[in-house]
Structure 1
Amino acid sequence: MALYTPQLASFKVPAIDNEPMSCIVNGKEVKTGKLAKQPMPATHAKHLCTYHEADQATVASAIKGALAAKAEWEAMPWNDRAAIFLKAADLVSGKYRYKLMAATMLGQGKNAWQAEIDAAAELSDFFRFGVKYVEELYSQQPLKNAPGAWNRIEYRPLEGFVLAVSPFNFTAIGGNLPGTPALVGNVVLWKPSPAATYSNYLVYKILEEAGLPAGVIQFVPGPPEEVVGQAISHPEFASLHFTGSTLVFKKLWKDIAANLDKYRSYPRIVGETGGKNFHLIHPSAEIKNAVNQSVRGAFEYQGQKCSALSRLYVAASVWNNGFKDQLLTEVAKLKVGPPTDFTNFVGPVIGRPAFDKITGYIKQAKEAGGEILVGGGADDSVGYFVQPTVILTKDPKSVTMVEEIFGPVLTVYVYDDADYEKTLDLIDTSTAYALTGSIFASDRKALLHATNRLRNAAGNVYYNEKCTGAVVGQQPFGGARASGTNDKAGSISIFYRFVSARSIKENFVGLEDYLYPSNLA
């Protein structure tokens, strides 16, 4: 496989607005004068946008404004809140569909297919399904009423504000992290990833056009440590809605715990973090499907999905009977290059730190005795391009079988068919993560057995299907262990985390006497 060699002169970038984007606080543009740029990963000498970073005064104003907007937003009739998000879904899937996709392709390095699935389809699904789930949530009322009394439950928003910290890799997650708590009446500070600022700004403007009142969601891009640190130190901080690295999430949890005595209530901490996701290929697996699903799972969006396939366990009888040859043949076909060329399957990784980390892991794998079966090259002269790489290891606990890479690197461990039980133990215990995993087998007993043995190894399990691509309303998404709090985005479960239920009992009859009957004898 020849590595794509970028030619800067041939790379065409559509013109976008040249005016630096502002923070949005209380519905008004705030220009701090502290400018930052969002580079384009396929051509890092150019940038997609320039934007004003939030400073301390801006964050303070955003928190104050959100709290001031809270009462009116919370009191707005549910059908009106729902209508705003339904209109936003229509704007996402219609009027702004291609602008959102273009922003996601240029700024986050997705090809057209991945941008369509993410920025258009999944984001509109989050908003539409969210409305249906909240309708269902609000309808859940007590089944029993004693004679002369009536019971009901009110699902209040949290007391205070929610901080949403979103990642670079999904525009849809950018919209969902502030959108979910806002839908049930919360006010939100939204700190987008610096590498997704432009697409996330478009999402905010769509919500604004759909009728979201000023102050309900405050858009505050800026340095993560400063913006997040200021928010979680505020007494009215009520919840963190986070998607990002495990290391950062653990630090934030500790910081929140250290501030616990400041808060009005116990903050809700909701997070989806890393993964070290697996495919298990049983001797009974259908080879062609297992190969194709593995290529998709490992190399779609350059492996920059928390659910991406990273470790592949293949039975020796399958590996030697066509799996290896088919896998290497298909990976070698993958075309690498900028997303503006729609024939490219693999684009750039998001930036310099990611490029260095990924190539560093490939180097470590070589030094540890891993065999590079295909790929292994990289080029950062114009954009951050890494070849789809397949590593064969004889050590199931080697570094690239254990640590999250977040790039187009797949490590294969071939197990003896007789060691199937040992392999299940390896899958379960080799990493700290438990996000997604797939089991490939034609034997139903093998599927059932592996599922039971790996009960806690993944929050999303797939049979004969790749470990990526959970669909809103179909496969609620989330993992446990070091992969997060498993609150299942794309389902009703996530909304329970952003409401505080209040039980109300009304008496219609009254109490004639406070004494018990036995007291009157």
Structure 2
Amino acid sequence: MAQLASFKIPVIDNEPMRSYAPDTADRKGLEAALAKMQSELPFEVPAVINGKPVKSGDLQPQPMPHDHANNLCTYHASTPETVQAAIDGALAAKSAWEDMPWADRAAIFLKAADLVTGKYRFELMAATMLGQGKNAWQAEIDAAAELGDFFRFSVKYVEELYQQQPPRNSPGVWNRTEFRPLEGFVLAVTPFNFTAIGGNLVGAPAIVGNVCVWKPSPMGTYSSYLVHKILLEAGLPPSVVQFVPGSPPEIVKQCIDHRAFAGLHFTGSTQVFRSLWKQIANNLDIYKGYPRIVGETGGKNFHLYHPTADTSSGVIQAIRAAFEYSGQKCSALSRIYVPRSLWEGSFRDTLAAESNKVTVGPCTSFEYFTGPVIGKPAFDRIKSVIAQAKAEGGEILAGGECDDSKGYFIKPTVIVTKDPKSVTMVQEIFGPVLTVYVYEDADFEATCELIDTTTEYGLTGSIFANDRAALKVAAHKLRNAAGNFYINDKCTGAVVGQQPFGGARASGTNDKSGSMSIFYRFTSARSIKENFVEPTEFHYPSNLL
């Protein structure tokens, strides 16, 4: 084998965002991709095992949330035999993949990033828009920019990880650390709401030499299938990531019941994550080691406004954080705390007026600010929560209307409550519902404590103030209430390489995707000491007389 230098990767930076303004080449390119995709659907998606399509014949639909009578794709649900073949194939490929030189692994992910942001940009965005209900801007953030960023910054962070070496060597000794992949396979269980998260949940373990079984969300199957296709085109060996759509409980159980199960990379609901953790704990006696469990789950994210906050900016930030992508982001704003002086000044009227301006419609029409919720179960659940809030005495300040006749559309809804522990202040909704609690100006510090103790979550939150002392107080009192904390900015929009993302408490293991931290979780370090000087006797100097 040729002697390889310790190569330096290219300079890594965030993918520039494109505007998709009228009459631009980008708008025309995306419109063409949408038209082409709509003329060809529904697509047929197989499982992909060792790079080969596997069709079970058990076809399941992925309806389009803006037009639920039509499917973006139908996918072949994986059988137990298919899942077993996926595990066997991944384990068979493990040795060659982890032994591949780092420069070659890095090159695969750098090429994948260029394919995402170049050749497949519009197709991947179109799949995300039609299948997951995102508008053009949200699809650009997700399927183009963030996914490209995840792949590129993964290369940067792993290069830095491998450079973490012991700082001291005794005379005649060379100490070094090897970052091995886990011993077995990693199961990636990915959500519908971000195409980029799907790519990262398999990409992060794979880039450090792990093999993966990928279980995509049924509501995000087609875009995930395209990401898998891109990874293969970039040169990923076909057995390193196995693509197994189908029934989540059955596929996941088969994987975590396997002796070679070595890790879980999960984004989804808190309840499911807790259940999986318990199942894994009950299986500890069958595993070779202790599986790594990495998860990002729910949130009940907040904005806190101090009496010195700017009303106009605060309202705009709230609307974007709460209603972009119909509130279907893990980080989406769900509860706000406003001092009475601001509320009775202009905050109430401004929030109502601006919320009522938010347009809702299909992703294929570029003028709409937000689109549908993902499916009927989500629609029914959110609708019932709004009805429950009304029954409990909540005031509907804006929105509240729901229509599922063609797509699953819910008008962005603002509820005012007098009970800081009412259902919509405590329960995760994952939809376009924002609840306001008005506090007395003198109770700012007590409100910080209220925010900290009201829910079990700890994902994102923001403080708005022009008083530096107030910012300091809130930052301290809320230090455990949010893994991503924002000052005079909305609680959504973490950027890879800038704001490592993740929360603690019931929101997950806070392993910070988009940073070097996540890669420690999918490696198992080996310390190596090499001695160059032969000893001549076994006595200690203190034994001599």
Shorter-chain TM-score above 0.5: yes
Q: Deviations over 1:155-200 (max 9, x none)?
A: 0000000000000000000100000000000000000000000000
**One-letter amino acid matched to 1:297:** A
**One-letter amino acid matched to 2:38:** P
- In the other structure, the counterpart of 1:333 is 357
- In the other structure, the counterpart of 2:273 is 249
Q: Which runs of 5+ in 2 are unaligned?
A: 1-33
User: Compared with structure 1, are the counterparts of its residues 395 and 129 closer, same or farther at alpha carbon in structure 2 (3 Å cutoff)?
Assistant: same
Q: Deviations over 1:452-504 (max 9, x none)?
A: 01110000000111000100000000000000000000000000000000000
**One-letter amino acid matched to 2:468:** R
Q: How many angstroms apart in 1 are the aligned matches of 2:376 and 2:537?
A: 76
Q: Is 1:417 equivalent to 2:441 in the alignment? A: yes
Q: How many angstroms apart in 1 are the aligned matches of 2:182 and 2:414?
A: 47
Q: How many angstroms apart in 1 are the aligned matches of 2:542 and 2:118?
A: 71
Q: Deviations over 1:222-244 (max 9, x none)?
A: 10011000000000000000000
Q: Is 1:402 equivalent to 2:412 in the alignment? A: no
Alignment of 1:292-303 (within 5 A): 292-303=316-327
**One-letter amino acid matched to 2:506:** A
- In the other structure, the counterpart of 1:390 is 414
Q: How many angstroms apart in 1 are the aligned matches of 2:535 and 2:90?
A: 44
Q: Which runs of 5+ in 1 are unaligned?
A: 1-10
- In the other structure, the counterpart of 1:7 is none
- In the other structure, the counterpart of 1:460 is 484
Q: How many angstroms apart in 2 are the aligned matches of 1:113 and 1:19?
A: 24
Alignment of 1:134-213 (within 5 A): 134-213=158-237
- In the other structure, the counterpart of 2:122 is 98
- In the other structure, the counterpart of 1:262 is 286
Q: Deviations over 1:352-410 (max 9, x none)?
A: 11001100110010000000011001000111000000000000000000000000000
Check whether the contact 2:41–2:71 (CA below 8 A) recurs between aligned residues. no
- In the other structure, the counterpart of 2:369 is 345
**One-letter amino acid matched to 2:293:** I
Q: Is 1:305 equivalent to 2:329 in the alignment? A: yes
**One-letter amino acid matched to 2:157:** Y
The CA deviation at 1:34 is: 1.2
* Pick aligned residue for 1:231 from 255, 273, 276: 255
Alignment of 1:209-224 (within 5 A): 209-224=233-248
User: Compared with structure 1, are the counterparts of its residues 38 and 19 closer, same or farther at alpha carbon in structure 2 (3 Å cutoff)?
Assistant: closer
Alignment of 1:312-331 (within 5 A): 312-331=336-355
* Pick aligned residue for 2:519 from 495, 501, 511: 495
**One-letter amino acid matched to 1:402:** V
* Pick aligned residue for 1:44 from 47, 68, 81: 68
Give the TM-score normalised by the residue count of structure 2. Answer: 0.93
User: Compared with structure 1, are the counterparts of its residues 18 and 353 closer, same or farther at alpha carbon in structure 2 (3 Å cutoff)?
Assistant: closer
Q: How many angstroms apart in 2 are the aligned matches of 1:432 and 1:204?
A: 35
Report which stretch shifted further, 315-324 or 232-241: 315-324
The CA deviation at 1:19 is: 5.2
Q: Secondary structure at the match of 2:95?
A: helix
Q: Deviations over 1:190-215 (max 9, x none)?
A: 00000000000000000000000011
The CA deviation at 1:18 is: 4.9
The CA deviation at 1:17 is: 5.4
Q: Deviations over 1:421-480 (max 9, x none)?
A: 221111000000000000000111111110001110000000111000100000000000
Q: Is 1:59 equivalent to 2:79 in the alignment? A: no
Alignment of 1:428-443 (within 5 A): 428-443=452-467
The CA deviation at 1:517 is: 2.4
Q: Is 1:277 equivalent to 2:308 in the alignment? A: no
The CA deviation at 1:66 is: 0.2
Q: How many angstroms apart in 1 are the aligned matches of 2:335 and 2:468?
A: 23
- In the other structure, the counterpart of 1:30 is 54
**One-letter amino acid matched to 1:196:** G
Q: Is 1:125 equivalent to 2:149 in the alignment? A: yes
Check whether the contact 2:43–2:72 (CA below 8 A) recurs between aligned residues. no
Q: How many angstroms apart in 2 are the aligned matches of 1:111 and 1:362?
A: 24
Q: Is 1:516 equivalent to 2:540 in the alignment? A: yes
Aligned residues: 511
Q: How many angstroms apart in 2 are the aligned matches of 1:210 and 1:494?
A: 23
**One-letter amino acid matched to 2:127:** A
**One-letter amino acid matched to 2:539:** L
Q: How many angstroms apart in 1 are the aligned matches of 2:309 and 2:302?
A: 15
Check whether the contact 2:62–2:221 (CA below 8 A) recurs between aligned residues. yes
User: Compared with structure 1, are the counterparts of its residues 281 and 211 closer, same or farther at alpha carbon in structure 2 (3 Å cutoff)?
Assistant: same
Q: Is 1:359 equivalent to 2:380 in the alignment? A: no
Q: How many angstroms apart in 1 are the aligned matches of 2:343 and 2:475?
A: 22
Q: How many angstroms apart in 2 are the aligned matches of 1:405 and 1:16?
A: 34
Q: How many angstroms apart in 2 are the aligned matches of 1:370 and 1:313?
A: 15
**One-letter amino acid matched to 1:138:** Y
Q: How many angstroms apart in 2 are the aligned matches of 1:426 and 1:351?
A: 33
